[in-house]
Structure 1
Amino acid sequence: MNEHPPTDSDDAQAEPEAQKTLPPLHPHQRRVLGVLVEKAKTTPDSYPLTLNAIMTGCNQKSNRDPVMQLDADDVQIALDGLRALEAATEIQGGGRVNKFRHHAYDWLGVRGAHAAVMIELMLRGPQTLGEIRSRASRMEKLADLQMTTQVVNELIAKKLVVPLGRPGRGQQFAHTLYQPDEMQRLDVASAAAPLPPQPSAPAAAPAPAADTDALQQQIDELKARVEKLESRL
């Protein structure tokens, strides 16, 4: 009996492997792998994807940073590299055109919300916790900022994510699949980023109306005494 081809749900049910050290990926490879995972989650009816569908997903202007203009050769080279890393597979499609599926869950060693955060960082670059939460929720719901922080911290512990710049509001986080020169540029950019604006000291509160009235009454009384003394003199 022939075995059925693996599905995306099969990936999700597989036992996670021990965390391994992952090699840096070329920007085109990151974009292609990100598109495969994203489309498997958001448009499962069209998954696995043809080469043309991957190219369209890579070049779309929404949910992408930077916007790319990859041609079929660029996508094919990226797919060949991902196949060599066992992060993607080519399969026979229903027609004449072959299709491609990802093995990102096994390759990255994460699933669920952790995988969604990684893919969003691969598709859009460094982001704040708030941005990660709103964008990754397209694939896996992140209930609140506390849950997002927990997921990001667990990815940091797995050495899949790294914080950029100074801790605090506006701090960004990036995946660790950048090539060395790219990561160096990110480090330099985050170090040069200006400090977030600090809240100014609150202005002194105006004196309560009752205190103001009492002070004015004292002034009036003093004036009256001065006028009485002047009249005696």
Structure 2
Amino acid sequence: MIEQSLQGRRAFILQNTTLEPPPHTPELALHVASEITPIWKMTEEALEEIGLPPPFWAFAWAGGQALARYTLDNPQIVTGHGVVDFASGSGIVAIAAKKAGAARVLAADIDPFCEAATELNAQANGVEVDFTAENLLDAPPPAWASVILAGDICYEKPLAERVMAWLGQARAAGATVLIGDPGRSYFPRQGLTKLAEYQVPTTRELEDMEVKKTAVWKLP
């Protein structure tokens, strides 16, 4: 059983992952698992809880890789800005934003492991990012955030609709909103502007193909 603390989760991650560069952002490094099923099962056993969602923190998912790549290649998007990485998972997008010159970066995810993963990954990349486990959907988008980045957010229809509505509020308030998505079923392409498209190497452990066509979109 894992110790129910940030320190305990950090130890679990270090014991069950390796530090590797994501395929599409080789200048970064993340603590990642090699297979999804074993780390998923170990997480459930460690927490003594069955039915947990997939360990999004343990992998560099296609949408996050694409969004991180776009941010690194277009630093003017975030330089000097306050940035929120919504549903941050491993923290790859938050780390990319900080390395690209963001003034402040807040990684947000309700998975308790994500704080430990983001902290470890940020340290591995020589940056500091803030973290919150609060569900940002329960309040208006933070006024200080002039840029909101969100990768891989449209797995489930009700959640996708809620997230898109929240992102729409942020855009209406003046924030720049970018989304990384590899063609998830519930992603609403209508009304969005495609900024870039990538062929992102991934694995059949995570996706239905080894290279996933993934786009970065902007709320107009």
**Same-fold call, TM > 0.5?**
no
**Highest CA radius of gyration, 1 or 2?**
1
Q: TM-score range by the shorter chain?
A: under 0.3
Relative to total residues, which structure has the larger strand share, 1 or 2? 2
Relative to total residues, which structure has the larger helix share, 1 or 2? 1
